[in-house]
Structure 1
Amino acid sequence: MSEITRVGVDLAKQVIQVHAVDSAGELVTNRQLSRDKFLSWCAQLPVGCVVAMEACAGAHHWARKLIAMGLNAKVIAAHLVAPYRLQGKGGKNDANDAAAVCEAASRPNMRFVPVKTTIQQGLLCVHRLREGLKQERTACINRIRGMLAEFGLVVSKSPEKLREKLTDMLEDASNDLSGVARLVIEEAYAHWKEVDERIKWCDQRINAHVKDDAQAKAAKNLMGIGPITASAVVATVGDFNQFKNGAQFGAWLGLTPRQNSSGGKNNLGGITKRGDMYLRSLLIQGAKSAVMTAHKRDDPISKWLYQLCEKSGWQKAAVAMANKNARILWAMMTKGCSFDPRHVSIKPTDVAASSLAMA
C-alpha cells in the first residue's frame, strides 16, 4: 500500500472498483471492494495519495470523507474520462472504468470538479425538488384538462384561466360531468393546490438563502437574474476562482458556439449546451425577460441588447445576454465588485496602449 501514489475509483451502489498504480504508473492492485470496506482500505494509503473518481451520485460525499483522511481526492466529469478507456465503448466494465479514471487523473491538463460542501448540496436539493414539483404541477394541470375534455369542457391554456373556471365547472349541474368524474377532478385540483404550496415552501428556502448569502444577494442585482438563478449559480459553482476568466465560465455553462474549424477557416454553430443544463436554462430564461424589456432602459447593456435583438432576433439576443451575464457574474465574484449597468470595460491591450501614450 505504501507504493501506491494514484488510485482510480469506479463508484457503484453496493461495490466499488479500485485501480491503484505506483509512481511509475505500474499496476499495484485492481480489485473490487464492498461499500462498507472502501474507507478502511483507503485509510491504508499514504497521506496525499491521489484518489480520483467520476462525478456521479455520491462522488462528493466520498471525496469529503477522503479529504478528511488526508488524501488528495479528485472528481472528474464523466465525459473527460471516457477517452481514456482503452477498450472503447465496447469494453465498458467496472475494472476498465476505474483504470480510465486513474489514467485521466494523471494528465497534467485535466480539469477537476471542485468538491461541493454539504451546504451547497443541501441548497441544490431544494432546487431539484422545486424542478420536480414544477413538472408534477404541469402534469396535474394537463391531467385535469384531459379529463374535462372527455366531457366536452375546454379551457384556454393559461393555468390561471383553468383555475378561475374549474370551480364553476364542477358546480355546474347542466354539463355532462358524471358524479365520479367530479370527485376525481376535485381530487386532482386538491393535489394541484398541494403542489403549489410545496413550491412556495421551496421559494421561501431559496429567498432565505439569497437574503443571507452575500454572493447570491450581489448576483440578484444583474438584469435577467432573479433569486432562483442567483441561488442556483452560487450553490452550483461555489468558488468562481476555479475559472481563469469569464469566457471560460461561459464555456463551462455551454453558452459558447460549437466549433468545427480547420485550416484557418472558422465554422461556428449553435451553443455547445455543455455543463449544468438547469443553470444554463435559468440564465437563458432570465435573459429573455431582459430582452423583452430592453427598450425601456437606457444603459449601455440594454442599448446593445436592443440593437442585437433588432439585428439577430430575440432568441440569439437572449443567449448572448445569458453569456454576458455569466461573464459579469465571474467578474463580480472574483473581484468583489458590485454590478454597474453603466460600466464600460477596457481591454488589457487598450490599457497598455494608454499607459504607453501617457509615458
Structure 2
Amino acid sequence: MKISRVALDLAKNLIQVHAVDSSGRPVVRKSLRRTQLLPLFRDLPPCEVGMEACASAHHWARHLQAMGHRVQLLPPQYVKPFLLGQKNDANDAVAVCTAMSHPEIPRVTVKTIAQQDVQALHRVRAMRMKQRTALINQTRGLLAEYGLVIAVSPAALRKAIPELLEDAGNGLSFDFRQLLAELYEELVAIDRRVAELTQRIERDVRAHDQGKRLLEIPGIGPLTASALIATVGDAKQFCNGRQMAAFLGLVPRQHSSGGKNRLLGIHKRGDSYLRGLLVHGARSVLRTATDKPDDRSRWLVNLAARRHRNIATVAQANKNARIAWAILTSEQRYRAN
C-alpha cells in the first residue's frame, strides 16, 4: 500500500482520515481518536498531508512536519466547493483530499508556537475589551432606568459613577448603590487587565527586530505591528504586496465578465481584527496629513478631496500593508519618500 496523499478532517476528539495512492484511488478511510493519529503517521513514509486551517491545525501540522511529512493547510472557504453529497466527516475529508490536488489554491503557512503565543495575547485582549464595552453599555442602561443619563463615552461613565455614589440626593436606593459600586470595581479591574495585556504586547514587539522596523511606518503602532508578525508570519508566502493586502481583505471585490472589469468595495476577507487595526491606523494618518508637505500626505489629502475620506483611509491601509510586506520580506527599513 503506497500512500501519496492523506487528508484529515479535524475535530475535538475524532479525526477522519482519507488517504489515496498515486493514482488517486482511496486506500484508507477511517476515523481515529486523537491519541491514535501520531502513531499512524510514525509508521508511514513521508507523504503529503492536508487539512483545513482551523482550530488545532497548526498544532498537528508542527508534529507531522517533525516526522518528515509535507503538510498543507488549506483555507476552509476553498475546500467547501469540493464537498460532494451531505456534510459529514468522511465527505469533508474527501473534499480536503481533492482540494490538495489543486496547486492554485493558496496554502496557509504553519504558525510557530511563538506566533500563536502573540495571537493568544491579542485575542484575550480583544475579549476583555468586548467585555468592557458590554459592561459599560449595561451600566448606562441601568442608570437610564433611574432617570440618570450618562454621555456616550467610557471616560464620562468612569467619571460619573463615583459622583453618583457620593450624591445622596439622586434617588438611588442602597441596594442599587451597592450594585453600582460592584460594577464600577469590575470596570476598573477590566481596565487594569487590558492595560497589562497592552503593555505585554508593546514590550514584546519592541524587542523584535521586524517589529522595530514595522513601527517606523506611519499608521502602524505596536498593536498592529505585533498582530502583523503573529498573523502573517513568513510574508514570503505572498508573491507581492498586493497578495498580502488581498489576504487582509483590503483590495476591491470583482464582478467582471466579457472583458468588462467592474471593481466594487473591498472584499473584507481574511483577519478582520488585523484589518481593523490597519484601517484605524490609516485613519490617524489621514487626520494628521493636512499640513504635511511630503508626497504621501499630499497624495492622501488629494484622494480624500476627490473621492471620500473612507476611500482614502482604506487606500492608505492598503499601502501600509504593501509596505509592511516589503519590510517583512527583506532587511530594509521604511523610507518616507
Does the TM-score normalized on the shorter chain lie above 0.5? yes
Query: Into which bin does the TM-score normalised by the smaller protein fall?
Result: over 0.9
The one-character-per-residue Cα deviations of 1:138-181 (angstroms, maximum 9, x if unpaired) are 11111111111111111111211221221111111101111010
What's the counterpart of residue 32 of structure 2?
33
Amino acid at match of 2:71: A
What's the counterpart of residue 283 of structure 1?
278
Supply the distance in 1 between the matched residues of 2:83 and 2:107 (Cα, whole angstroms).
Answer: 18
Alignment TM-score, normalising by the size of structure 2: 0.98
What's the counterpart of residue 203 of structure 2?
208
Correspondent of 1:81 among 79, 82, 98? 79
Structure 1, gaps ≥5 residues long:
343-359
What's the counterpart of residue 350 of structure 1?
none
RMSD between aligned residues:
1.0
What's the counterpart of residue 66 of structure 1?
64
Supply the distance in 2 between the matched residues of 1:164 and 1:111 (Cα, whole angstroms).
Answer: 50
Q: CA deviation at 1:109?
A: 2.1
What's the secondary structure of 1:309's corresponding residue?
Answer: helix
Q: Say if 1:206 and 1:228, in contact at 8 Å, map to a contact too.
A: yes
Instruction: State whether structure 2 residue 52 is matched by structure 1 residue 57.
Output: no
What's the secondary structure of 1:144's corresponding residue?
Answer: helix
Alignment TM-score, normalising by the size of structure 1: 0.92
Amino acid at match of 1:50: E
What's the secondary structure of 2:175's corresponding residue?
Answer: helix
What's the counterpart of residue 17 of structure 2?
18
Count residues in correspondence.
337
Correspondent of 1:138 among 129, 133, 136? 133
The one-character-per-residue Cα deviations of 1:3-39 (angstroms, maximum 9, x if unpaired) are 1110010000110000000011111011101111111
Q: CA deviation at 1:95?
A: 0.3
Supply the distance in 1 between the matched residues of 2:103 and 2:252 (Cα, whole angstroms).
Answer: 26
Q: CA deviation at 1:85?
A: 1.4
What's the counterpart of residue 355 of structure 1?
none
What's the secondary structure of 1:75's corresponding residue?
Answer: strand
Amino acid at match of 2:221: G
Instruction: State whether structure 2 residue 314 is matched by structure 1 residue 319.
Output: yes
Q: CA deviation at 1:82?
A: 0.9
Q: Say if 1:218 and 1:339, in contact at 8 Å, map to a contact too.
A: yes
Supply the distance in 2 between the matched residues of 1:108 and 1:178 (Cα, whole angstroms).
Answer: 68
Supply the distance in 2 between the matched residues of 1:130 and 1:299 (Cα, whole angstroms).
Answer: 35
Q: CA deviation at 1:222?
A: 1.1
Percent identity of paired positions between Structure 1 and Structure 2 = 49
Q: Say if 2:255 and 2:262, in contact at 8 Å, map to a contact too.
A: yes
Supply the distance in 2 between the matched residues of 1:156 and 1:170 (Cα, whole angstroms).
Answer: 17
What's the secondary structure of 1:4's corresponding residue?
Answer: coil
Q: Say if 1:147 and 1:185, in contact at 8 Å, map to a contact too.
A: no
Q: Say if 1:10 and 1:16, in contact at 8 Å, map to a contact too.
A: yes
Q: Say if 2:119 and 2:231, in contact at 8 Å, map to a contact too.
A: yes
Structure 2, gaps ≥5 residues long:
none
Supply the distance in 2 between the matched residues of 1:223 and 1:326 (Cα, whole angstroms).
Answer: 11
| Deviating 4+ runs (over 3 angstroms) | none
The one-character-per-residue Cα deviations of 1:198-237 (angstroms, maximum 9, x if unpaired) are 1111111111111111111111111111100000001111
Supply the distance in 2 between the matched residues of 1:335 and 1:120 (Cα, whole angstroms).
Answer: 19
Q: Say if 2:206 and 2:222, in contact at 8 Å, map to a contact too.
A: no
Supply the distance in 1 between the matched residues of 2:168 and 2:32 (Cα, whole angstroms).
Answer: 66
